[in-house]
């Protein structure tokens, strides 16, 4: 059962984002990007107040490097659509289980990002999650 509303066009959009942001990180890396996206839609806190749809999340200004720089505009493949559906259906994995941010630094992961604590690194991406006090919605179960 979906934890966020998603049409087939939304699934394609999220699938394209997964591919563009983390294709080199493998299936789990792409799923982690999906986790962060779904968390942003559900969170309604911090920089993500008012995001309610996949298009709003994907096209939020300055949110994703791949959207800004164009790699995002490749078509979705069925393998990424399957991963997008898994994320939309609430499948979450650590370190993105509650994360709202990730990025790929040149070196080590900084201890905070947007004032939020570092959770862990998965391959080249660092993940950060809010505290329950600043964003309790991300910690609710589906």
In a domain, 130, yes or no: yes
Confidence at residue 142, expressed as pLDDT on a 0 to 100 scale: 66
Please tell me the total count of domains within the chain.
1
In a domain, 43, yes or no: yes
| Domain containing residue 128 | 8-139
Interval 63-117: pLDDT, tens: 988 888 777 888 899 999 999 999 999 999 999 999 999 999 999 999 999 889 9
Output the pTM of the full model: 0.95
Q: What is the CATH number of the domain that holds 119?
A: 1.10.10.2520
Rg (CA), the chain: 14
In the predicted model, what is the mean pLDDT of residues 36-53? 95
In whole angstroms, what is the distance from residue 32 CA to residue 72 CA?
A: 17
In a domain, 96, yes or no: yes
Q: Nearest Cα to 25, choosing from 117, 133, 122?
A: 122
In whole angstroms, what is the distance from residue 14 CA to residue 55 CA?
A: 8
In a domain, 113, yes or no: yes
In a domain, 3, yes or no: no
In a domain, 2, yes or no: no
């Amino acid at each position: 059962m979906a934890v966020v509303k998603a049409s087939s066009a939304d699934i394609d959009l999220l699938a394209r984002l997964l591919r563009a942001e983390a294709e080199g990180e493998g299936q789990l890396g792409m799923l982690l990007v999906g986790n962060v996206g779904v968390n942003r839609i559900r969170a309604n806190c911090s920089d993500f107040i008012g995001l309610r749809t996949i298009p709003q999340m994907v096209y939020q200004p300055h949110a994703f490097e791949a959207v800004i720089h164009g790699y995002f505009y490749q078509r979705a493949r069925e393998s990424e659509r399957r991963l997008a559906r898994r994320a939309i259906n609430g499948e979450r994995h650590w370190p993105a289980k509650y994360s709202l941010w990730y990025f790929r630094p040149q070196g080590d992961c900084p201890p905070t990002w947007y004032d939020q604590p570092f959770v862990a690194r998965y391959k080249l991406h660092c993940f950060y999650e809010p505290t329950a006090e600043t964003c309790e919605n991300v910690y609710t179960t589906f």
